[in-house]
Amino acid sequence: MTVGMGVIGAGWIGKEHIQRLTHTVTGARITAVTDIDAARAEEAAAPVGARVLHDGAAVVSADEVDAVLVTSWGPTHAEHVLNAIAAGKPVFCEKPLATTAEDCLKIIEAEIAYGRRLVQVGFMRRYDAGYRQMKQVIDSGRIGEPLIVHCAHRNPTVPESYTSAMAALDTAVHEVDVLRWLLDDEIVSTQVLTPRATSKRSAHLKDPQIMLFETANGVRIDLEVFVNCQYGYDIQCETVGEEGLVRLPDPDAVAVRTAGQHSTAVLTDWVGRFKDAFDTEFREWIAGLAAGDEPTGPSAWDGYAATAITAATVEALESGRVVATDLKPRPAFYGGAA
């Protein structure tokens, strides 16, 4: 019952998932790997006994590949996902689903035409224990209707290559997905404020940024994105409702008292913060595959929304204006009214 998994893209995250599916999560076996760099593919494939194939299309069509994992460069995602749909094979695509809203819509069209969900997008926060508890609290009605969400996404530093647009496209995209899911609501407008920039950044970078989202139901979200905060990797989220609030916990850590201070460690990278979420994400996806179920995680529609909303956020940053996200109506196939 082991799922044969074909991996397209053996870069950092691809290798990470190959390790995960081999040593941490049961139920799958890596059977084929490709990468634009053949040596890199070989290096990833050999230790797990997988074949190296010459391109993504070969991986998708290989007999020993039951499901496809797309971890290549973002601009190539759409092609591989469309291939997988054409082959009728389940496909897990790391974010983004595609780098343009247009390509996301093509995938949606193809999936609807196929008539069954094949695509899952890699937004792992939905599998984080804290966010899941938060969703339970919200859904239980314990805090009443949500009105406001306060968030912060802080990284200690980023490399020179990180651009101002990436604050939305690569960083805030996680909050965009998880908040849509938490609130069961859609983001309809976006705005970006730029505080005085930190001196500890690349000269070209606007950091920090404050993103302001409004949802269809009128919930207001403020999200601080600060990718050179120095002190640690820190994810904060607080949802305020009509009768109370719910707040994400800090990761637990021993408390130490010495020299007049009570201290606990703050994490310094996202691996420590979301490793369990990644494991759970794949564990549930593979269990679903093994059971023959459609995937229940972030859908192609969610991938489209994330791409469209973060693109609008980049436009908001660059224009200084409030930008409407102008999402298409959600098709009935994805639980929408249209």
What residues numbered 100-159 form the site for a second copy, per CB under 8 A? 129-130, 133-134, 137, 142-145, 147-148, 150, 152
Looking at beta carbons only, is 120 or 191 nearer to a second copy?
191
Do 95 and 71 meet the contact criterion of CB atoms below 8 Å apart?
no
State which of positions 196-225 bind a second copy (CB under 8 A): 196-200, 208, 210, 212, 214, 217-220, 222, 224
In the complex, what is the shortest distance from the CB of residue 191 to a second copy, in angstroms, rounded to a whole number? 9
CB proximity list for 53: less than 8 A, separation 6 or greater: 6, 32, 33, 34, 59, 62
Q: Which neighbouring-strand residues pair with 30?
A: 5
Roughly what angle, to the nearest 10 degrees, separates helices 129-140 and 173-183? 30
In the complex, what is the shortest distance from the CB of residue 215 to a second copy, in angstroms, rounded to a whole number? 8
In the complex, what is the shortest distance from the CB of residue 252 to a second copy, in angstroms, rounded to a whole number? 4
Looking at beta carbons only, is 195 or 336 nearer to a second copy?
195
Looking at beta carbons only, is 5 or 110 nearer to a second copy?
5
Q: What angle do CA 63, 64, 66 make, to 5 degrees?
A: 90
Residue 285 burial (C-beta neighbours within 10 Å; 0-12, 13-18, 19+): buried
Q: Does 292 bind a second copy (CB under 8 A)?
A: no
CA 60 to chain centroid, in Å, comes to 23
> Which has the closest alpha carbon to 194: 206, 176, 203, 202?
206
User: Which member of 162, 226, 278, 301 binds a second copy (CB under 8 A)?
Assistant: 226
User: Which member of 37, 75, 160, 263 binds a second copy (CB under 8 A)?
Assistant: 263
Residue in the structure block whose two tokens are 């970078």: 205
User: Which member of 12, 23, 203, 292 binds a second copy (CB under 8 A)?
Assistant: 23
State which of positions 161-200 bind a second copy (CB under 8 A): 193-200
